[in-house]
Amino acid sequence: MGRAAVAGVVPPHSHHAIQVTVGLDGPIGHREPDSGWGIYGGAIVAPDVEHELDPRGSLLAVLFVDPETREGRWLGRSLRAPISEIREGRLDEVVAVLREIWEEPSDAPETAALIHSVTRRLCVGPPPPYVLDDRIVQALETIRRMDTKKISLDSVAKSVFLSPSRFAHLFTAQVGLPFRRYLLWRRLTRALIAVGRGSTLSAAAHATGFSDSAHLTRTCYQMLGQPPSTLLGPGEFYEIPAPFELPFPFP
């Protein structure tokens, strides 16, 4: 979360996370390519939707929520359009929490709890029922635990007792994008965490399965609209534990 590092529009890009973008001191712009700009106090972009972002000089809070988590499925079910406006009443509550994080940074567990509360405030209706196939939940947990550099479709399929072809089909149907595309997103997020901890681009790329730093930079630009040096260069970097769990049944 931080002040926009670019002095202009973030070009078209897409990624697998649900993106929550909130202007903490002014409105922001969002649009899908070839459509008109929408001006929002805050907006939510559905997963895998190509979009552009105009910070408009505002202090931005940008949250990425995995759509396979319990809160991600709940938040995703609450969306009514590829880019949805955060309504004024909920926006005021969300801005208050995010400004608190920005102005008075706390420890990681407390920050994670606050981010969790922000996401819950944006969800509508009751939690969704548990629908993911148990084998896909197990596969996602395997990917989360394993070194992404060493993961292959065949190895994950074997771990859940499916043939590679059956697993590939089931994974795409349940998660919403092909296994290799999902793994690329996971590799990118792990690489960015490594860079944020002080790793060089080359070392982070090598450790997470990219061929070189140029490959990492191209992927980052494709998925997030900016290179790693712009995303993580200026300001301060805060790493918090993921506050959301994979979608085991709601209580």
* pLDDT attached to residue 102: 87
| Stronger pLDDT, 46 or 1, i.e. the higher one | 46
pLDDT digits (tens, 9 = 90+) for 213-229: 999 999 999 999 988 88
What are the extents of the domains in the chain? 2-122, 134-232
CATH number of 134-232: 1.10.10.60
Q: How confident is the model at residue 183 (pLDDT cuts 50, 70, 90)?
A: very high
Percent of the chain with pLDDT over 70: 89
Beta-bridged to residue 43, according to DSSP, are 21, 85
Question: What's the CATH number of domain 2-122, 2.60.120.280, 3.40.50.2300, 3.30.910.20, 3.30.230.10?
Answer: 2.60.120.280
Backbone φ and ψ of 241, nearest 5°: -65, 145
Does residue 4 register a pLDDT over 50?
A: no
pLDDT digits (tens, 9 = 90+) for 108-165: 778 888 888 999 999 988 888 767 899 998 999 888 887 777 789 999 999 999 999 9
Which is nearest to 95 in space by CA: 147, 162, 23, 46?
Answer: 23
Same fold, 2-122 and 134-232: no
pLDDT digits (tens, 9 = 90+) for 25-54: 999 999 998 899 999 999 999 999 999 999
Question: Is 132:170 a contact under the CB 8 Å cutoff?
Answer: no
**Residues 229-241, mean pLDDT to the nearest whole number:** 63
Does residue 239 register a pLDDT over 60?
A: no
